[in-house]
Amino acid sequence: MYIIDKKANRISKLDKKSFKDLGFGERKHLQEWVANNPESLGEEILIIQKEFSGFNDTNERLDLLGVDKQGNLVIIENKLDDTGRDVTWQVLKYASYCSTLKKEHIRKIYQEYLDKKHVDEKADDNLAEFFNVTDFTEVSLNSGQTQRIILVAANYRKEVTSTVLWLLNYKLRIQCFKATPYQLGDQLFLDIEQIIPMKDAEDYVISMADKTQEDINTQEEVKSRHVIRIDFWKELLKQMNAKTNSFQNISPTKDNWISIGSGLSGASINLVISNYYARVEFYISRQSKDENKLIFDELFKRKIDIEEKTGIKFVWERLDSKKASRIKCEINDVSYFDNKDWNEMILFLTDTVVKLEKVFKDNISEIKKKLKSKE
């Protein structure tokens, strides 16, 4: 860091110092500087306690406790010339302890701090003023898992920075500030710079953390979804096998569908489940689009007879722009995620398959003859 001499049009280098060399202490000096000038951390923070130790079953003390403009608790831990190896574990514990603090408890903590400073002020009034509201009842504090962590130190060990960067991926709100003292003659200077995440890249880091968390949530959801599907198909196959032998060789699967042959190559009877519906479909997907449409058209000619015999109103989808065609029947507003819907879904799927199999069997044998005659 340099100081500018405007008259001489020169710059003079400031001597970088350690806090130890200058005789500064962590609690007596660095902590006091931040407590009295929290804006040095780049935002408005209201300090509500120093050396806070109001945790159950532990004598541990966090350096500074504050609130930000969004009502989140801010845990500030100060170290001098070296963070040490265990500071991340230390602040994570503090954040977990603070996560249980309720609004009234926070008000009392702040009032104790004001009383200890011999300041004739009310915590309620100060908090209302800080949040620009007329009354303390309008203030929201420490909602959900929103606790923030700020580390302040002259030097960060690699163990600390790598852990912090990893934690950021999990949307933990943690910042590292580098506090560096300088000297020029008898003058002393202090530079406090946010180094993790870098200020200019903070939005990018947050968006990457959101993406990482979304990916993790998606993986967990997929894993959970697979387990639920297997359980659903187990129950369905147990009931299905009591009604028809067609599914004897079918095993439960993590997929959202199971299928059996229809007796016609390239056409299958599929059972499909989702978060919104349960479906039985006759899916025609031979190599030849023309053959698929021919099969569909032949079945459509028998639409009235098929629907009368099954008692089911099918949805007939020729899908002219696609290679395949489909005839389906489904129920909506059911989900395999909800166990309460399983009985309805399984009854629908098993009954529909049995009816569809029976009526399609004779029709398919006739269609086979037509296909053969066209070869």
Task: Provide the CB-side half-sphere exposure for 143 (13 A, CA).
Answer: 7
pLDDT score for 144:
80
pLDDT score for 205:
47
Report the candidate in 25, 45, 365, 6 with the shortest Cα–Cα distance to residue 175. 45
pLDDT score for 12:
87
pLDDT score for 206:
53
Count of the separate structural domains present in the chain = 2
Query: Which of 196, 231, 259 is at the close of a domain?
Result: 196
Are 126 and 57 within one domain? yes
**Residue count of the chain:** 375
The answer as to whether 296 is a domain residue is: yes
Cβ(300)–Cβ(311) below 8 Å: no
What residue numbers bound the domain in which 132 lies? 2-196
The answer as to whether 206 is a domain residue is: no
Omega before 252 within 30 of 0, i.e. cis? no
DSSP code, position 9: T
- Tell me the pLDDT tens digit for each residue of 88-107: 999 999 999 999 999 999 99
The answer as to whether 212 is a domain residue is: no
The answer as to whether 313 is a domain residue is: yes
pLDDT score for 129:
93
pLDDT score for 372:
72
Provide DSSP, 303-323.
Answer: HHHHHHHHT---EEE--TTSS
pLDDT score for 364:
82
- From CA 9, how far away is CA 88, in angstroms rounded? 45
CATH code, domain carrying 327: 3.30.1460
- Tell me the pLDDT tens digit for each residue of 8-52: 999 988 999 999 999 999 999 999 999 999 999 999 999 999 998
Low-confidence ranges of the chain (pLDDT < 50): 201, 204-205, 216
Measured between alpha carbons, how far is residue 276 from residues 85, 256, 285, 349, 352 in Å?
51, 12, 25, 14, 18
Are 269 and 159 within one domain? no
